Amino acid sequence: MRTPDPRDPLTVNGHPGLFTALRKYSARSILALGISGSAFAQTAPAPATTTTTTTTTTAAEAAPGPADQPVSMGEYVVNGYAASLAQSLQLKRQSEDNVEVISAEDVGKFPDTNLAESLSHLPGVSVDYLFGEGERVSIEGTDPNLNRVLLNGEPISSADWYVLDNQSRQFDYLLLSPDVIGQAEVFKTWEPRLLEGSLGATVIVNTRNPLEMEPLVFTGSVTDDYNDRSKLSEGSASAMFSWHNAAKTFGIMIGGEDNRDYLRRDGVESLAEDTNANLGVGGPLPGQPPGPWVTAEVVNTAEFLQLRRHEGANFAIDFKPSDRLTLEVTGLYVKQTMNNVNFSYYIYPGDNWSGLPNITNPTVTNGVLSSYTINSAPLVIDAFNRAAQIVTQEYNGKLTYKGDNFDLTTDAGFTRATGGTQHQYFAEWFVFANANINEGKNSSSFTATGVPGPDPNASNLNSGADFSAAGEPSFDYGNIASNPEVDDEKWIQIDLTVPMKGALKNLQAGMRMSDHKAGETGSVVSVPGADEVVTPLSAIGVSAAPGNYLSGLPDITTSMSQHVLTNSYGGVANFIGNLPEGNGQTLLQYFNSTPPQDGAVFTATPTFTIDERITAGYLESSFGDGPLNGNFGARFVETTTTSASYDLSATPPTLQTTQSTYSNFLPAVNLNYDVAQDQVVRIGLSEVIARPDTSQEANYVELYDSTLGGVGGNAEPEAVRVDEH
C-alpha cells in the first residue's frame, strides 16, 4: 500500500486523494472545472466508476463509550480508476466476441478532444493526427474507410470538410467529444446481429443513460488550449445535466459544448517527379552520366491556418412505465465550422513554361538530379481562402417490450450530414526566377536569386511587390470553387430474442430496412481575363512570415522562411472579386450572379447522387457449455444502388442513371474457451463486407488530356468481401 501524502485533505483507506490527484492533473488544460450534484451525496460520478463506503451507527453506539466504539462517518464517494479498468476488463472477458471497452471514467482521465483520441488508448487502435487532432482511426492495421462507427448501435452520417477529400464512408471522429461517451466498444470480430459494412472493426459508441446515473447530476468543464506555434489560445466549455425520478420510471439528460481550437501547420513538400526528357534535356548534363534521371516537379513551402469551432448538443429521454416496457429517445446535433486559409510558395524546376531550362552546376545522385541551378523557372504563390462547415444530426427512438418468453425491440431513426467546402477562393501570382535547388533524401530546399533581366522590384523575391514584374502577368489565375456534400440515412428495425434452456442460451432474429442517400455537387468559376491582369501580390494585403515559420524543419533557406504571407481570411475573396472584370462585385456575388458575367468559364466538376436501399435479416444463437461458449449465425443482405451523375464529356453535360442489385450471405461463428480463471482463448470465423466509397459508385468519367489521366466511378459496384479469422 502506498503511503498517503500527509498534506492531502482527502485520504480514504490509505489511498492518496485530492492533493495527489491535482498534482497529476493534465498540463494540457489550463483551467478545468467539474461540478457534480446528487440528492444522496456531495459528488455523483457514473456508478460504474464509483466506490461507495457507508458506515451507519445506532443510537446506542452513538452514546459515549470506549475508544473502540464505532464512529458515524456518513457517506463518502471515491472515484476509482482501478475500478473502472476492472469493469472494462470484466466486460471484455464476459463478451462472446473479441471486444475492447472504454468507459466514461476512462475517457475522463485523459485530455482527449474527440472520440478518435479516446479510442487511441485501446490496444490495436492507431490514430492519424494529420491536422493536429485525431481525425482518422485505423484498427488492427485496416484502412479507416473499412471500419464502421455506430451511435447507440445505429449509423450516424458523416461528411468531409477538406477540399481535397472525396466523399467516402469514413467516419468524422471530430463529431463526438468525450463528454458524450458513456461507453465505447470496439468489436474486432463480427457477429450477425451487428450491422454489416466493416472489414476491420465495428465501433459502437453508447451515450449516457439518465436512468443508470445518480438521480441528479450536473457536470461541466472549461478548458483553454494553447498553440505553441501560433502563440494563440482558444477557450472551450461543456456541460451535462441528468435527472430521473425516485421511481426510476422517467429520466432526461441534456448536454452541450462549445469547443474552439486554433490550428497552424507549416510544411515543406516535394511533389511529383519529372524526367530529363520532359524537361527538354535530351543529352547528358555537364560532367554527369547521360541518364535517365529524375527531379522534383515542385518544391513547396506552405502555411495552413484554421480556427475550428465545435458546437454541439445531445439529449436522451428514457421512459419506463413498467418493468416490461421501455421507451428511449436520443438525439445529437453538431455544427463544426472549419474555415481555413492555405498559403503556398512554389518553385517549379520540373516545369518547362519558359522553354528549355538552362541547368548549370548539376549533380546527379543515384539517378536523381539532387542539386543544380536553374534559370527562368516559374516561382508561384498560391493563396486559398476556404469556407467549410459540417452539420450532423441523428435522432433515434427505441421501444423494448419484455414478455414472459421473449424480448421484442423496435427501432427507427434518421441521420443527416451536410458538409464539404462551401466556397474556395483562389488566387495565384508568378514570376520567372533564377533558383538554386537541392533535393536531399529527407528534405528539399531552394533559394530564389531574382528575376532574369533588369527588374528593380525583384531582388530577393520575398516581397509582395516582387510579384509585379514589368510586362509579366503577375496575377496569373483566380477562381471560386464549391463542392458541398450531403449524406443521410433513415431506417427501421425489429429484433426478437427468445431465451432457451440447455446449452443454447437464446435465439435472436431480426429484420432491417434502410435507405441511404449521398451526393456531391461541384462547380468552378474562373476569373475572366486573369492572364492579362498585371496586379502586384501586395494588393491582396500581405504580411511578413512569423519569426518561427518553418522552424524545426531541416535545410530551410531564407527564401523559404521569409517570404510574405496573406494577412487575412477575407483578403483573397475580396481581391479577386474587385478586379476590373468583376464589375466591382465580390467574387461570391460574381459566382452567384445569373447569368454569369461575359467571359466567365463555368466547369461542372463531378456531381453525383447515390441511393442505396438495403434489406437485411439475421438469425443468431448464443451458447455455453462449461468452459466453452460463444455464438453463431448468419446475416443476409440485399443492396440496390441507384447512381445518377452527369456525363461531362457531353456538351452540354447530360444526366445519366444506372441501377444495380447484389446480395450477400454472411455467416459467422465466435468461440471462447476458458483455459484458466484468468485466461481465455478466442476464435472468430466470419465473412464480412465493406461497400465502396460513395464517390466510387458514381457513374461518371472525367478525363484530363494534359496529364493523360482521369477519375471516375463504377455504376455497378459490389461490396468488398473478406473471410475473417
Do 223 and 256 fall into the same domain? no
pLDDT at 666: 95
- Is residue 125 included in any domain, yes or no? yes
Residue (of 192, 211, 185) closest to 495 by Cα position: 192
Q: What are the cell numbers at 556?
A: 530551410
Same domain, 301 and 154: no
Q: 543, 573, 605 — which closes off a domain?
A: 605
**What CATH number is given to the structural domain containing 116?**
2.170.130.10
Residue 349 has pLDDT above 80, yes or no: no
What are residue 349's phi and psi, to 5 degrees? -70, -25
Beta strand 232-244 with 250-275 is antiparallel
Instruction: Quote the cell numbers at residue 603.
Output: 466547369
> Strands 202-207, 148-151: parallel, antiparallel or unpaired by DSSP?
parallel
Contacts of 495 (CB under 8 A, 6+ apart): 193, 408, 409, 410, 411, 508, 509, 510
Q: Which residue has the higher pLDDT, 45 or 690?
A: 690
463's CB contacts (< 8 A; 6+ apart) are 457, 538, 564
Please name the amino acid found at residue 624.
G
**Cell numbers of 66, please?**
470506549
Which of 23-37, 152-166, 189-203, 544-558 shows the lowest per-residue confidence on average (mean pLDDT)? 23-37
> How confident is the model over 531-542, as a mean pLDDT?
63
Q: What's residue 575's pLDDT?
A: 58
Q: Give the pLDDT of residue 691.
A: 87
The verdict on 455 and 497 lying in the same domain is yes
**Cα gap 518→612, rounded to integer Å:** 9
209: left (phi over 0), alpha (psi -120 to 50) or beta: beta
The tens digit of pLDDT for each residue in 459-487 reads 556 666 666 544 454 666 777 788 888 99
HEC sequence for 176-187? CCHHHEEEEEEE
26 pLDDT exceeds 80? Answer: no
- Asked if the structure places residue 499 within a domain, the reply is yes
- The band of 313, judged by pLDDT with boundaries at 50, 70 and 90, is very high
In a domain, residue 595? The reply is yes
589 shares a domain with 483? yes
Q: Which residues pair with 395 in a beta bridge?
A: 331, 414
219 and 341 in one domain? no
Same domain, 486 and 559: yes
713 vs 159: which has the higher pLDDT: 159
63 falls in which pLDDT band (50, 70, 90)?
A: very low
89-131 pLDDT, tens digit each: 666 666 777 888 877 666 656 667 677 777 777 777 877 776 7
- Residue 73 confidence (pLDDT) above 60: no
| Of 408 and 674, the one with more pLDDT | 408
What pLDDT does 36 receive? 32
Out of 165-169, 445-449, 501-505, least confident range:
165-169
Nearest to 137 by CA among 121, 152, 151, 155: 121
Residue 626 included in any domain: no
pTM of the predicted structure, to 2 decimals = 0.77
Of 580, 605, 630, at which residue does a domain stop?
605
Q: What pLDDT does 401 receive? A: 97
Helical residues (DSSP H) of 395-468, grouped into ranges: none
The 10 Å Cβ neighbour count of residue 471 is 8
pLDDT above 60 (res 505): yes
Domain boundary among 206, 234, 262: 234
What integer pLDDT is reported at residue 588 of this predicted model? 56
Q: Which domain covers residue 164, as residue numbers?
A: 82-234
Q: How many Å apart are CA 200 and CA 561, to the nearest integer? A: 42
Q: What is the pLDDT of residues 246-299, one digit of tens each?
A: 999 999 999 998 988 888 889 998 876 666 655 555 456 666 666 667 777 788
Report residue 473 as a C-alpha cell: 502577368
Checking if the pLDDT of 720 tops 60, the result is yes
pLDDT at 61 over 70: no
What is the pLDDT, as a whole number, of residue 307? 83
Whether residues 352 and 253 share a domain: the answer is: yes
Which CB contacts under 8 angstroms, 24+ apart, belong to 67-76?
75/40, 75/41, 76/12, 76/52
Is the Cβ–Cβ distance between 519 and 608 less than 8 Å? yes
Phi-psi map region of 539: left, alpha, beta (phi>0 left; psi -120 to 50 alpha): alpha
| pLDDT tens-place string over residues 584-626 | 555 556 555 544 444 444 454 567 888 999 999 999 999 988 8
The percent of residues above 90 in pLDDT, for the chain, comes to 22
212-229 average pLDDT score: 85
CB of 50 within 8 A of CB of 79?
Answer: yes
Are 280 and 362 members of one domain? yes
Tell me how far the alpha carbon of residue 318 is from its chain's centroid: 30
Predicted confidence at residue 284, as pLDDT, reads 61
Cell of 608: 453525383
The region of weakest confidence among 2-6, 71-75, 721-725 is 2-6
Whether residues 280 and 427 fall in one domain: yes
Residue 426 has pLDDT above 80, yes or no: yes
> Is 99 part of a structural domain of the chain?
yes
- Answer whether residue 717 is part of any domain: no
Angstrom distance (rounded) from CA 486 to CA 422: 12
pLDDT the model gives residue 44: 31
**Tens-digit pLDDT profile for residues 360-383:** 788 888 777 788 888 777 788 888
Find the DSSP H helices in 443-532. Answer: none
Distance CA 139, CA 127 (A): 9
pLDDT at residue 369 in the model: 78
**What pLDDT, on the 0 to 100 scale, is given for residue 88?**
59
- Grouping H, G, I as helix, E, B as strand and the rest as coil, residue 157 is coil
Q: Is residue 290 part of a domain?
A: yes
Select from 16, 656, 565 the least CA-distant residue to 304.
565
- Name the pLDDT band for 711 (thresholds 50, 70, 90): low
692 vs 325, more confident: 325
Rounded to an integer, what distance in angstroms lies between the CA atom of residue 645 and that of residue 273? Answer: 33
Tell me, yes or no, whether 318 and 369 share the same domain.
Answer: yes
Q: Is residue 588 part of a domain?
A: yes
pLDDT at 171: 79
Q: Which helix (H) or strand (E) holds 65?
A: none
Q: Are 214 and 266 found together in one domain?
A: no
Report whether 678 contacts 656 (CB < 8 A). Answer: no
Q: How many domains does the chain have?
A: 2
Q: How far apart are CA 172 and CA 137, in angstroms?
A: 10
User: Are 573 and 590 a contacting pair, CB within 8 Å?
Assistant: no
The answer to whether 695 and 520 have CB atoms below 8 angstroms apart is: yes
CA dist 497 and 508 (Å) reads 5
Q: What is the mean pLDDT of the chain?
A: 74
Q: Which of 57-66, 68-77, 384-393, 409-418 has the lowest mean pLDDT?
A: 57-66
- Burial of residue 564, with CB atoms counted within 10 A of its CB: 0-12 exposed, 13-18 middle, 19 or more buried: buried
Is 220 in the same domain as 268? no
Sign of the four-CA dihedral 184, 189, 191, 195: positive
Q: How far apart are CA 421 and CA 195, in angstroms?
A: 30
Is a pLDDT exceeding 50 seen at residue 24?
no
* Residue-level length of the chain: 725
Q: Nine-digit cell at 706?
A: 494534359
Greater pLDDT, 682 or 705: 682
pLDDT > 90? residue 315: yes
- Which stretch of 81-85, 150-154, 621-625, 665-669 has the lowest confidence by average pLDDT? 81-85
- 284 DSSP 8-state letter: P
Percentage of residues of the chain with pLDDT beyond 70: 65
The highest-confidence range among 341-350, 384-393, 560-569, by mean pLDDT, is: 384-393
CB 335 within 8 A of CB 312: yes
